[in-house]
Structure 1
């Protein structure tokens, strides 16, 4: 029997959401963006978390930072310690200090900005005792050693090779401490071999699942919130004893983000 564990999340309302630049293949400034719809989809996601008994806090969105809604990129928080993102792209650099300030003002005294490019939970996913760490498009591989020293947990480097899946959280989802789902084509041959060795019972996503960002999901160990149109993945989750909950994040996908991108987990000490 799978058991849901209460989560503590940080989110950022997409008040200023727009696509005015392109830093990943999903972003096309020529396509219209419906900001009120993005807000409605985000609010529905927030309400879903609350209905599941999770704690959701919010950080104030800042003008001029349309991607700040993607709170997962802001930091990695484990055991009450926060390693705040150092973004690769100039358009997002100012998000880092905003997240650092919020974390310090809300009880995370042991918070500091990464020294090397590191895009938070976009590329760092905790799976049991291991910290799975993506690289290839955003986070610098040298940041893996920095994260290991900071958190004192073994870091498993994984190389992404498809620019459509530019962050680890677009190609892999941690479902519980021992179970993950991932899209094999997003990884280098060596990294795929590592995943097969570490997680022989993983759920394998199809091309169709990946293309709708089905792996950009948030799990509490039982309930898995994910894009509603990842139909094969939803059925696979159900067969494995999880409770999939579909969400419509289509407007936020225009900027290359979905459920997990909007969700930073705040893990306290102990």
Structure 2
């Protein structure tokens, strides 16, 4: 284990929050619906509104554009209603795209579709041998990668990613099925090496994983169950601006207290499929 990351989050001495440029991949929810159940959020008996999902997604897209992000789009494919959750399509770092290999049969065709896009965009695509769901379970923090397991990504994929990336990969075990991907339980607020800062929900993890998070990120923001239940942690930050679920009001308060600029958006329709801001956002790192 690497040395403990010590950050000072006291007012007046905390790092100055400065936005960094972001390049992201998104997918319009043109075929969004809930027709199967592969997580606790999904209920095929509950009606969904594709047009509303598109409207809400467009607000997120336009928010990113307004922040100056480079926003790329992958074409949605009929029959793949969860393709809107682009974060699960792979993990991209240093120009290398580690592809996704989905757990559930309903989503497995998404893996090759995203890898095709990565190739066409000029990334070095690494076809996975192990089951993983991309940036849903892999989060870059500083020079290392936090990696989730327990429901979707197999821990062997953590070893595979460590070999491919040459970076330390730290395994965290998820235990609450409502938080089945790491990006539903951890938000990377500042990934700058030396001033790493995150937010997380302790009850989403086993005891050993909570210990790892406490040791590495002693100044982390602890989010309450209410905000986590609207996927408030499923957010996207550029180090200053943090796009979050609009209903995560206490998280918004905490972010402001720590010098961030929270921006709330309503993705309530996409929440019916178990996804939020981060789920719709795959970061492209050259």
Interval containing the TM-score (normalised by the shorter chain): over 0.9
Pairwise CA distance, 1:113: 2.0
Taking structure 2 as the reference length, the TM-score comes to 0.93
Residue 73 of structure 1 corresponds to 88
Pairwise CA distance, 1:130: 1.1
> Is this contact kept in 2: 1:124–1:133, CA < 8 A?
yes
Counterparts of 1:238 and 1:115 in 2: how far apart (Å)?
Answer: 42
Taking structure 1 as the reference length, the TM-score comes to 0.98
**Partner SS state of residue 251, structure 2:** helix
Query: Equivalences for 1:163-174 in 2 at 5 Å?
Result: 163-174=177-188
Pairwise CA distance, 1:107: 1.2
Determine which of 83, 88, 92 is the counterpart of 2:98.
83
Residue 27 of structure 1 corresponds to 42
Counterparts of 1:152 and 1:159 in 2: how far apart (Å)?
Answer: 22
Determine which of 228, 243, 263 is the counterpart of 2:246.
228
Counterparts of 1:193 and 1:157 in 2: how far apart (Å)?
Answer: 12
Counterparts of 1:81 and 1:47 in 2: how far apart (Å)?
Answer: 27
Counterparts of 2:216 and 2:143 in 1: how far apart (Å)?
Answer: 12
Q: In the alignment, does 2:111 pair up with 1:96?
A: yes
Deviations along 1:45-79, whole A, 9 cap, x unmatched?
00000000001000000000000000000000001
Q: In the alignment, does 2:71 pair up with 1:56?
A: yes
Determine which of 209, 215, 225 is the counterpart of 1:207.
225
**Partner SS state of residue 235, structure 1:** helix
Pairwise CA distance, 1:3: 0.4
Deviations along 1:71-125, whole A, 9 cap, x unmatched?
00000000110101000000000001100000100111x1122110010000000
Counterparts of 2:225 and 2:45 in 1: how far apart (Å)?
Answer: 26
Give the aligned length: 267
Instruction: Give every structure 1 segment of 4 or more consecutive aligned residues whose post-TM-superposition deviation is greater than 3 Å.
Output: none
Counterparts of 1:207 and 1:57 in 2: how far apart (Å)?
Answer: 33
Determine which of 123, 127, 146 is the counterpart of 1:113.
127
> Is this contact kept in 2: 1:96–1:113, CA < 8 A?
no
Pairwise CA distance, 1:5: 0.3
Deviations along 1:236-258, whole A, 9 cap, x unmatched?
00000000000000000000000
Deviations along 1:142-167, whole A, 9 cap, x unmatched?
11100000000000000000000000
Residue 160 of structure 2 corresponds to 146
Counterparts of 1:90 and 1:244 in 2: how far apart (Å)?
Answer: 36
- What is the root-mean-square deviation of aligned Cα atoms in Å? 0.4
Q: In the alignment, does 2:31 pair up with 1:16?
A: yes
Counterparts of 2:64 and 2:127 in 1: how far apart (Å)?
Answer: 28
Counterparts of 1:112 and 1:93 in 2: how far apart (Å)?
Answer: 16
List gaps (5 residues or longer) in structure 2: 1-15
